[in-house]
Structure 1
Amino acid sequence: MMVLYSGTTCPYSHRCRFVLFEKGMDFEIRDVDLFAKPEDIALMNPYNEVPILV
C-alpha cells in the first residue's frame, strides 16, 4: 500500500489526494505538522517538503 505524507494546509498535498481518490488507488494518508517536521521526512525527500508518496 502507498503512503502519502501530506500537510493539512498544503495545496500540493491536496492535489495528490484528489488524484489518488479519483484513480481509486489504495493508500494511507499521514498528516505532517509543517512547522515541526519529523526527521524521517528529510530522509525521504532531500528538499524536506511534502507531499511525499511512498
Structure 2
Amino acid sequence: MPKKPAENVRSTPFNMRVRPAIKAAAEQMAADDRRSVASWIELLIEAEAERRAAANKG
C-alpha cells in the first residue's frame, strides 16, 4: 500500500468533552455511516468549511 501524502496523515490529537447524549448521537450517526467517530467528525468539519467558503463567495 502506498504511503499517504504528509498532509493526509492523521497525527494531531483532537480531544473534546461533550454531553453523554451528544456522544451517543455521534457514535450512532458514525456507525450508521460505517465510519469511526473521528472520521465522521472530520467529514462534518470539511463539509462545513466548504459550505462557509461557498457562502462567502457570493
TM-score, structure 1 as length reference? 0.32
Structure with greater contact order relative to length (CA < 8 Å, sep ≥ 6): 1
TM-score, structure 2 as length reference? 0.30
Greater fraction strand: 1
Greater fraction helix: 2
